[in-house]
Amino acid sequence: MANAASEAVRPIWYAVRTFNCKEMAFSNHLVEKGVECFVPMTYKAKQGKDGEKPRKVLVPIIHNYVFVKPGALSDEALTAILEELRDPYYILRNKQSKKFYEISETEMNEFRLLCDPNFENSIFMTSEEAEAKPGKEVRIVQGAFKGLTGKLHRVKNQFYFVKTMGDLGVMLRISRWYCKVID
């Protein structure tokens, strides 16, 4: 019986693209419905009123993207929950199979780690931009990102770790000594 229950909960995530900066409305709606989701956030300085000191506020890193873990929900049930908002959205699809692009739990955990709002050296881009960056495949062997695999890209005398997932790419500054080339 426990085995059937564990098969019903799918350990995958979907990337949902919203429009008109509705990622927070989608996220709040999904949380109300009991669906796990993730919106990558970062701190930005926001000027206070009437000369107040600027304060840091959390804002989405990548506008219009919400990552959704359907859990035990079928694709149809998830779609029905998303349509309740009556705002346009698009669930990213695999280019070859046209099925929803599935992000594994491992990939999502890595992505969430790279999107930590307390880490300020991340640059976000499209996967095409990230894939266009030349570099060698590496594994990070020490530090906070130990175990992650991606590409080591060099710009002038600075090194960047590049990771792609779906249509998104993350590039973060890292010491080359923290990386080991994968054979």
Q: Would 163 be classed as within a structural domain?
A: yes
Residue that terminates a domain, selected from 64, 79, 104: 104
Same domain, yes or no, for 98 and 142?
A: no
Structure tokens belonging to residue 143: 């530090």
C-alpha 55/C-alpha 121 separation (Å) is 19
Same domain, yes or no, for 70 and 125?
A: no
Residue that terminates a domain, selected from 104, 131, 166: 104
Would you say the C-alpha torsion 30, 36, 39, 44 has a positive or negative sign? positive
Check residue 112 and give its pLDDT.
85
Domain span including residue 168: 121-183
Q: ∠ at Cα 167 (161, 169), nearest 5°?
A: 15
Q: Would 112 be classed as within a structural domain?
A: no
Confidence grade of residue 139 (pLDDT, cut at 50, 70, 90): very high
Selection from 75, 63, 59 nearest residue 23 by Cα = 63
Q: Which residues pair with 37 in a beta bridge?
A: 68
Structure tokens belonging to residue 69: 């873990």
Q: Count how many domains the chain has.
A: 2
Q: Give the tens place of pLDDT for each residue, 72-108.
A: 888 888 889 988 988 888 888 877 888 888 888 888 8
Check residue 9 and give its pLDDT.
67
The percent of residues above 90 in pLDDT, for the chain, comes to: 14
Structure tokens belonging to residue 83: 């349509």
CATH code, domain carrying 148: 2.30.30
Structure tokens belonging to residue 6: 């564990």
Residue that terminates a domain, selected from 76, 104, 132: 104
Same domain, yes or no, for 13 and 99?
A: yes
CATH code, domain carrying 36: 3.30.70.940
C-alpha 181/C-alpha 137 separation (Å) is 6
Q: Which residues pair with 91 in a beta bridge?
A: 16
Same domain, yes or no, for 62 and 141?
A: no
Check residue 183 and give its pLDDT.
76
- The distance of Cα 104 from the centroid of its chain, to the nearest Å, equals 12
Q: Would 59 be classed as within a structural domain?
A: yes
Same domain, yes or no, for 147 and 78?
A: no
Q: Which of 4-18, 86-100, 138-152 has the lowest mean pLDDT?
A: 4-18
Selection from 92, 16, 27, 13 nearest residue 59 by Cα = 27
Q: Would 109 be classed as within a structural domain?
A: no
